[in-house]
Every structure is written in C-alpha cells, then in structure tokens.
Amino acid sequence: MWPLAGSARAQQAAVVQRDNETFLSAPGGTRLGRIYTGSAVTTGRVRSGHTETTLEGWVFGRSLQPAARDGHTLAVARSAGENLRQSANGRVLARLVQGCLLDEVERRGEWVHVRRTGWVASDAFAGRAITASATRADTTAAQTPPPATEEVDPRRAFARRRLQLYRAPDAAPSGVLEAGVPVRITARAGPWVRVEAQGWVRENEIRLSDSGILTGVSAAELRAEPDEFRGKLLRWTIQFIALQTADELRPDFTPGQKYILARGPAPEYAFVYVVVPPGKLDEISRLEPLARVDIVARVVNGRSAYLANPILELVDISQ
C-alpha cells in the first residue's frame, strides 16, 4: 500500500501543456501512451512528482480487443498503437500503445468511448500548482480556494490577416479564413499547421457524415502514417482516369485484379489506386475519363511498394 500522506487530492479538470507527455500506469511504471499538448484531462492524487490523470475519449473499435485484466475490459490491439480522440473521428488527444488497458464507457457504431486512469509528471501542467502538499491532515484547513490561474493553451491562435485555407499542404486553396478569426491548431507538418475554426451554416447546406467514415483525411496523411489508417473507411472525391488490370509487376495487387487509376482526393493531385470488387465493375466501366466521383473506400495500404501511392478498396461510389 502506498502511504496516504501526499496522495489525497480532489479531482479537477486540467490541460496538458507539454507535448508528447508520457502517460504511465504508475509513477515510474509502464508507459501507456503519450498525451498531446492542449488535451483536457481530470487530475487527482499527487505522488512522487506525478499526478494521477484520467483520460477519456473515443477509439476506433477495430483497434481494440476484449481484455478482462486488472479491472479493465479492453486493450489496444494494433501493434502501432492507436489514437484516442476527443470525439468519434475528432481531434486526437493522445496516442496509446499496444496492450494499453482501457475501460469501456459506451459504443456508437464503429467507435468506442473509453476511459483510463494513469499518471503524468506534475510539471506537465504548466501554470497549475500541482504539488504533494495536500494531505488528509491539512485539506480541512484550506477553507479558501487559491486564486484561479489562467491556463494558456498553445494550440489556440487567431488569423493575423485574411488567409486562404487548404485541404492539404501545397494543395489548391479551398476556402478563406478572415482576419481575427480564432482557430485551434490540431496538427503540424513542417511549416504547415492544421486548424479548426467554429462558425455557423444553414443546416440544409450540409450533409451529415457517418461517424464510422473518416472525412478530411489527405493522401499525404496516409503516406505519412500508413499503419494508423489501414482498414479504416474514408470518404474522398477523386478524378477517375482509367480502369486497369494489375500484372505481376505490381506487388501490392493480385495479378488480374481490377483497379481504378485516379487522382485525388480533391484538391490534392496525387495518384491513387482503388481496387474494384467484381460487383462494382459494371458501374465503373460506365465512367468517362476525368470524371469526378465521390467514393467511400477502405484503406488497404497508405503507401504502395514502389511509388508510395495510397491503395484503397472501393465500398461505394456516386457522381
């Protein structure tokens, strides 16, 4: 048993201020994953320079397996680990390692709401006076709470001037961000950052997305992290070029397999290969070259063997 002194602390909300912060099973224990800057967590006890931290979010169900161990119900199954997201298909909060044990909260389609309590170095919560001074003996004397410390989230920013928005780095512009609009930085790639901005549109001008289908994922992201996306469904707009037949020179395909040679997803102009199941061949054969089509497809490989182009398997197509 660990001593009670220095371990009692009322739970409170906090924000991790240090990127890729190690998430441990116990102070000095097994690494469960890494938490990204700006992720909201719940903190509790303090011990040995570490703070008890509860992570909660959503994980793609196919990356999990049952695991009734140490009071937990699930474990991360993927060898490359898996992302913990704020919502289904939402912002990434943390990256969990293979074998990380989790507690299931609920399921929605292909996504699972999970929770896990571990430990994080106390100094990862910059601006929060997280110390081991709160004991059972002195908590009753603290009648007046300390003044709140304003937390600076390094992922919050604003547009310094009127900016063009891009679906992917170096792609064609896809919109405009007005000067002064607040944004949230969700990812970085060299000199580029991916941002989220909030606003309002008329409901009849948007189409709801199936939470099991990822949207807004670029071909560049597939090439950068092929293991993360393997087996997941994407919704893309592509430009159809031709229906082709694989030969022995293409190790990513079965010889004789039919596939679409395309460019995309819009607005990217990269080559993409889309395997066509036999039941879709008649529909594909009626497409005109250079036609733009919307597809739902499953990721087979984010990087093909020779040319590093994504390979998908067609599930649905519409014009």
pLDDT digits (tens, 9 = 90+) for 76-118: 998 888 999 998 878 889 999 999 999 999 999 889 999 999 9
Long-range contacts of 80-86 (CB under 8 A, 24+ apart): 80/227, 80/228, 81/33, 82/228, 83/59, 83/228, 84/33, 84/55, 84/57, 84/58, 84/59, 84/114, 85/57, 85/58, 85/59, 86/57, 86/58
CB-based burial of residue 279 (10 Å sphere; 0-12 exposed, 13-18 middle, 19+ buried)? exposed
223: Cα separation from own chain's centroid: 15
Secondary structure (DSSP) of 213-273: EE-S--HHHHHH-HHHHTT-EEEEEEEEEEEEE--TT-TTS-TT-EEEEEE-STT---EEE
Tokens of 227: 């293991």
pLDDT of residue 207: 59
What pLDDT score was predicted for residue 209? 55
Q: What are phi and psi of 142, to 5 degrees?
A: -85, 80
pLDDT for 176 equals: 86
At residue 189, the pLDDT reads 65
What pLDDT score was predicted for residue 89?
78
pLDDT at 84: 93
The pLDDT score that the predictor gives to residue 155 is 66
Per the document, the length of the chain is 319
Residues 22-58 pLDDT 10s: 999 999 899 999 999 888 999 999 999 999 999 999 9
Q: Are 21 and 34 in contact (CB under 8 A)?
A: yes
Going by DSSP bridges, is the β-strand pair 233-245/213-214 parallel, antiparallel, or unpaired? parallel
Predicted confidence at residue 117, as pLDDT, reads: 95
The pLDDT assigned to 80 comes to 82
Which one, of 153, 138, 203, 216, lies nearest residue 183 by Cα? Answer: 153
DSSP letter, residue 283: H
Taking the chain (319 residues) in consecutive chunks of 10 residues, what is each chunk's mean pLDDT? 45 86 92 91 91 94 91 91 88 92 92 95 69 38 40 65 79 80 76 79 64 82 86 92 89 90 86 93 92 93 86 90
Q: Contact 207/295 with Cβ under 8 angstroms?
A: no
